[in-house]
Structure formats: C-alpha cells, structure tokens
Amino acid sequence: MNSNSVIRLTQTVKKGGCAAKVAAGELRTILAGVRFPPKDSNVLIDGDHFDDAAIIKVSDELALVQTLDFFTPTVDTPYLFGKIAAANALSDVYAMGGVPKTALAILAFPTDVFEPRVIQEVLQGACDILAEAKVSLVGGHSIDDETLKFGLSVTGYVHPNAIWTNQGARVGDDLILTKAIGTGTLNASLKWGGSTEDDLKSAYDSMTKLNDLSLILNAQTKLAIHAATDVTGFGLSGHAFQMAKASLCKLQIEFDEVPILPRAREMLREDFLTKAHQTNHEYTRDALTWVSLKQGKMSTLESAGLPIDWKLLHDPQTSGGLLLSVDPSQSAQLLQALRKEFLVASRIGRVCAQDANEPNRLIEVIAR
C-alpha cells in the first residue's frame, strides 16, 4: 500500500463489529454437538447460560474473570477501531462485576495490504483505552490473514460474593440500560455510504465509553444489582432473552424508554441493516410478545404492521451498554448515580413472573 494512500477499513471486510458474530441460534446448535471436558470444581461460571465471561475461584476472597472478544472493523480509522475493540472486550469483565487487570492482544491482518503504521494505530487505540482502564497489555498473538481482526483476551478480579451474572434477575426488579442502542444500523450506514465518521461521533463516543461502574457504585448500590449483562451482537432483544431464560423470569421492556443513538432511526428507515438484525429476530421470535397500545397484543410472527423502529431491539450493538436488573427500592438512586457518567442511562422496564399460559414468552415489549 502506498504510504500516501488512504484505506477505508470497513471496505476490506464483509461485516464488522459484533454484527459479525455467529448467530446465537446457530451457535447454540453448534455447541450442543460438542463434548466439553469435565468442569473444574473452582469454575463458578462458564458458558452454560451465555454469560459474558467465565469466573474461576482462586480463594475465598478472590476469583478470576476471563473473557475473549475480537472482531472485524466497524469504522474506517485504525486508531478508532482499536479503541472500540478494546472497550468492547473490557466490557465483559465489567458486566460480571469485575475489575480488569491484564489483556492479551489477538491480531490478524493482511501483511501485503496494510503497512505497519495501520496496525500500529490500531494497537495504539487499544493501548490508550487500556491505559484509561488501568489494564496492562502483557502480550498477544498475531497472524497473517486475509482480513483485519483485532481484540483482546482479558483477565480481571472479582470477589466470589460480589459476582454479577445474567442469572439473578428477580421478579419486581427494575431494568436499567446504561447506553443508547443503534450502533448496528449506524455502522452499516458508514460501510455503505449513508454516513461519515464525523456524522456518527455520538455513536463512537458511546462505543469507546468504558462500562466501568466501580467509581459510581458503593457497596450498597452494587448489591442492589441482582443481574447484569452487556448488550452486544445479539441486540437488546437477544441479551434480554438470555437474561430472562437464565433467571427463569420474564422481562417487560418499555420501548419508548429505551435510549436510541442520534440518526439511528433515520438510518434504519433508509434500510441500513445487517444480517444480524434478521438472525437476532429469528433467535428471539418465539420468546417475544409485542404490545402496541394502538394495535394490541401480537407475536413477532404477526408483527408486520409494527413501526420499523422496533427493529432497533434486534440491532447488533458493538461495545453497547450494560443491562442491569436492579432492586426497585434502590433503582432511582442508582440511576441518578449512573447519569453522572452515562448521561442517557434509563429505566427501560421491569422483571415479571413467567406467564403460566405462555411460559416460552419471556420478553414483552410495550410501545405507546
């Protein structure tokens, strides 16, 4: 590549960010056919419930949080891509209530296409996010590949009695989302020429924002969080479904309370979609009930008349926010604290008991 040429990273890959994930339904089918090794007795959390990271107990006072996340470019600027990828990987540790400590880099790129400065900028973006998070980069692995892929394997600490999982939501809890949704359609609009990076600054500010709640929460408010997950490639619908399924409850989401990134509705209406919008719909369609105060109650199979905006629930997020299931007696206090750092954090619904007549309907979405 000529040193004076400019390469658009999004044009070098077919799909980018968490939209490139293997579809959740397909992944469950694949994993169901694999015989896994015996589980060590100190493994407290593994992938059984699609939690965000694994937890391994070291002592009565310490457990390790382990995760791995990487993807193809969502943006054209190498430095920005590195920042987003790093923030996204760290989020898995924060979603478990942990503090990230070390990271290993995973890097693949075509050596005959990208000159060293491109990869240096990706790595520098990641290193600057790691420095902000006070995380040490301790090594990594790279390969010569046809497309650029980058991410991190992250290890963190958590007290064994202070772990968050997606399994602890309780009936009556409030649901809080820390970031706005819409990165999937916005990233698609960049790739296909509907937007520029300058147009999407709000989205990139969100994607590079660390989901670190440690400076916001005190001991009491942390205990008020009964369950947590970060919202990424399976969309708000998919990650809410996994929380409801793991917690044996139903989540009721008030669509009009869900924060949405600027221009996301506009880009969605201009049909900037990803394959993940469809696969996330397929993953959750048997669990979702739509309640439109104008049209009444319907299943997703009957939802053709719904506003296209509702597809944002299936929008694959890259470095999205945390979905928290919170004790209702403390949710207002927690939300007030969150908004000092996460300006659009919102209460978006509540946790309900499963309906005995429709036990598989685990997500109910209500819109005015």
All structural domains of the chain with their residue ranges? 9-158, 174-367
Question: Catalytic residue numbers?
Answer: 18
What is the reported pLDDT for 16? Answer: 59
What is the reported pLDDT for 9? Answer: 87
What is the reported pLDDT for 284? Answer: 93
What is the reported pLDDT for 220? Answer: 78
Whether the predicted model's global pTM rises above the 0.75 cut: yes
Counting as low any pLDDT under 50, the low residues of the chain are 1-4
What is the reported pLDDT for 50? Answer: 84
What is the reported pLDDT for 300? Answer: 61
Superfamily of domain 174-367: PurM-like C-terminal domain (3.90.650.10)
Fold of 9-158: 60s Ribosomal Protein L30; Chain: A; (3.30.1330)
What is the reported pLDDT for 306? Answer: 67
SS (H, E, C) the chain: CCCCCCCCHHHHCCCCHHHHCCCHHHHHHHHHCCCCCCCCCCEEECCCCCCCCEEEECCCCCEEEEEEEEECCCCCCHHHHHHHHHHHHHHHHHHCCCEEEEEEEEEEECCCCCCHHHHHHHHHHHHHHHHHHCCEEEEEEEEECCCCEEEEEEEEEECCCCCCCCCCCCCCCEEEECCCECHHHHHHHHHCCCCCCHHHHHHHHHHCCCCCCCCCCCHHHHHCEEEEEECCCCHHHHHHHHHHHHHCCEEEEEHHHCCECCCHHHHHHCCCCCHHHHHHHHHHCCCEEEEECCCEEEEHHHHHHCCHHHHHHHCCCCCCCEEEEECCCCHHHHHHHHCCCCCCCEEEEEEECCCCCCCCCCEEEEEC
- Model confidence over 264-309: pLDDT tens digits? 999 999 999 999 999 999 999 999 998 887 776 766 655 655 678 8
